[in-house]
Amino acid sequence: MTTHLHKEIENLKKRILYMGAEVEEAVRKAVNSFAARNVRQAQEVIDHDEELDQLEVEIEEECLKILALHQPVAIDLRYVIAVLKMNNDLERIGDLAVDLAERAVYLSEHPPIDLRLDLQGMADLTQSMLKRSLDALVNSDPQLARQVRASDDGVDEMNMRMFALVQDYIRDNPNHVAEAIHWLSASRHLERIGDQATNIAEDVIYMVEGEIVRHQPEVFTR
């Protein structure tokens, strides 16, 4: 029974890593579609969301089956619980990628505005957080997961700066309020992706060390 349980967990690992890769690609395409005003690429992200939703349901069902049939303990139990939570986080990141792609579609239908936001810099940091959180999962690396947690404040600060810039822009350009709000929404979507990547990193720490760090301050030690 133990051998069968480990086969089930190994299969679960493959599926959650596949989900992670698919979501990471969705975010990459959404960011690129926004930067390049590429409607075709944005639509690919939107159309792919249904497949991600179905994959999330299948992984959740697999986790529940393992819990019911094998009643795992210790590290195996923590792994299944962590995958349940990560699965939900990844599905949410997929939704946020769709939200970003929809902003890209809207803005592609309107003339560009002179809004000097470093959205690409924020996107780069957010994508780095997502990649590192998934790498931490692959390698069961709690130290890398802690680096992801330490990065989240930087994304939050960038989002706050962008909010202030958009406020100033709207005050000076009242005819372009809708476009500016879509830019601000894109910033918010990226900030939320960073939050979800942080959640995944926290789940990795729980999985490996059995420690719940969700409400602890992010302290990164080399």
pLDDT greater at residue 114 or residue 26: 26
Q: Residue 67 — pLDDT band, cuts 50, 70, 90? A: very high
**Per-residue 3-state assignment (H helix, E strand, C coil) for 13-61:** HHHHHHHHHHHHHHHHHHHHHHHHCCHHHHHHHHHHHHHHHHHHHHHHH
Dmax (CA) of the chain: 68
Buried b (16+ CB within 10 A) or exposed e, 106-128: bbeeeeebebebebeebbebbbb
Residues 43, 105: contact at Cβ < 8 Å?
yes
d(CA 100, CA 190): 8
**Residue 222 has what pLDDT?**
36
**Residue 139 has what pLDDT?**
94
Q: Return the SS3 of 141.
A: coil
The reply to whether the predicted model has a pTM over 0.85 is: yes
Q: Tell me the average pLDDT across 4-10.
A: 91
**Residue 25 has what pLDDT?**
98
Asked if residue 218 has pLDDT above 70, the reply is no
Q: Residue 219 — pLDDT band, cuts 50, 70, 90? A: low
Dump pLDDT digits (tens) for 134-170.
999 999 999 999 999 999 999 999 999 999 999 999 9
CA-CA distances (angstroms) from residue 180 to 107, 108, 152?
A: 10, 13, 24
Please state the separation of Cα 36 from the chain's center in Å.
21
As a whole-number percent, the residues of the chain with pLDDT over 70 amount to 97
d(CA 45, CA 93): 12
d(CA 96, CA 104): 12
The domains found in the chain, sorted by start residue, are 2-209 (1.20.58.220)
Q: Residue 3 — pLDDT band, cuts 50, 70, 90? A: confident
Residues 105, 36: contact at Cβ < 8 Å?
no
Residues 108, 37: contact at Cβ < 8 Å?
yes
Q: Tell me the average pLDDT across 6-14.
A: 93
Dump pLDDT digits (tens) for 71-127.
999 989 999 999 999 999 999 999 999 999 999 999 999 999 988 888 999 999 999
